[in-house]
Structure 1
Amino acid sequence: MSGAFSPGMRILFFGMECDFSLPSFTALLQNGFEVCAVVIPADGDTLPGIHVAPAIVPKVAPRSRRGSLPMFTTATASLTQMAWAHAIPVWQVRELKDPETLATLAAYQPDILCVACFSRIIPRALLELPRLGGINVHPSLLPANRGPLPLFWTLRAGEEQTGVTIHRLTTALDSGPILAQETIAVPEGVRYGELEVLCAGVGARLLAQTVGALASGQCHARAQDEALSSYHPYPGDNDYVVNAREWGARRLYNFIRGVASVERPVEVLHGNGYLLAVDAVSYSLKGAVDIGDTVQQDGHGEATIICHDGCVRVYYI
Structure 2
Amino acid sequence: MKVAILLNSSMANPSLSAIISKHELVGIGVGKTGGENVGLLADSIDAAGAPIYTFERSSHETEMSDWLRDSHAEVVLVYTFNFKIAQSCLAIPKYGFYNFHPGALPEERGSPLFWAIRNRQRSFALTIHKMTEHLDCGPIYEREHCRLDDSTTFGEALEHLGTISRKFTIRLLYELEKRKGHLRLSDQNAAMARFYRNPKRADIVVDWRRQTAEQVQALTNACNPFCEGAIAIIDGRETRILEASPIMLEQSIQGKASGVPLPQVEGDLCIVCLDNTVLRIDVLCDSGGYYSGRKWLSHRYRRE
Alignment TM-score, normalising by the size of structure 2: 0.74
Question: 8 Å contact 1:282–1:313 — kept in the other structure?
Answer: yes
Evaluate the alpha carbon distance shift between residue 84 and residue 311 of structure 1 in structure 2; reply closer, same or farther with a 3 A threshold. Answer: closer
Distance in 2, Cα, partners of 1:230 & 1:292: 42
Q: Does residue 1:226 correspond to 2:190, yes or no?
A: yes
Inter-partner Cα distance in structure 1 for 2:240 and 2:28: 40
Spell out, residue by residue over 1:4-29, the C-alpha distance to the aligned partner (whole angstroms, 9 max, x if none): xxxxx22121124x312322323322
* 8 Å contact kept, 1:291–1:308: no
Q: Which residue of 2 aligns with 1:313?
A: 280
Q: Distance in 2 between matches of 1:196 and 1:246?
A: 29
Q: 1:141 aligns with which of 86, 93, 104?
A: 104
Residues 140-164 of structure 1 deviation map (CA, whole Å, 9 limit, x = unaligned): 11223322x4321111111111121
Residue 88 (1) aligns with residue 50 (2): yes
The question of 1:117 aligning with 2:80 is answered: yes
Task: Write the distance in 2 (CA, Å) between the matches of 1:169 and 1:77.
Answer: 26
Q: Counterpart in 2 of 1:103?
A: 66
Quote how far apart the aligned CAs of 1:232 are.
2.3
**How far, CA to CA, are the matches of 1:280 and 1:93 in structure 2?**
34
Q: Which segment drifts farther, 127-136 or 275-284?
A: 275-284
Partner of 2:122: 160
Shift of 1:192: 2.1
Which of 15, 19, 23 lines up with 2:14 in the alignment? 23
Higher helix proportion (structure 1 or 2) = 2
TM-score (norm 1): 0.71
* Partner in structure 2 of residue 265 of structure 1: 230
How many residues of Structure 1 are paired with residues of Structure 2 in the alignment? Answer: 273
Structure 1 stretches lacking a partner, 5+ long: 1-8, 48-73
Structure 1 stretch displaced more, 292-301 or 128-137: 292-301
1:248 and 1:152 map into 2 onto residues whose CA distance is 18
Q: Decide which of 246, 271, 284 is 1:304's aligned counterpart.
A: 271
Select 2:202's aligned residue among 238, 244, 250: 238
- Determine which of 18, 33, 37 is the counterpart of 2:23: 33
Give the match's secondary structure for 2:71.
coil
The Cα shift of 1:285 comes to 8.0
Shifted more, 273-282 versus 304-313: the winner is 273-282
Structural RMSD (CA): 3.7
Match for residue 167 of structure 2 among 186, 205, 215: 205
Task: Determine what percentage of the aligned residue pairs are the same residue.
Answer: 20
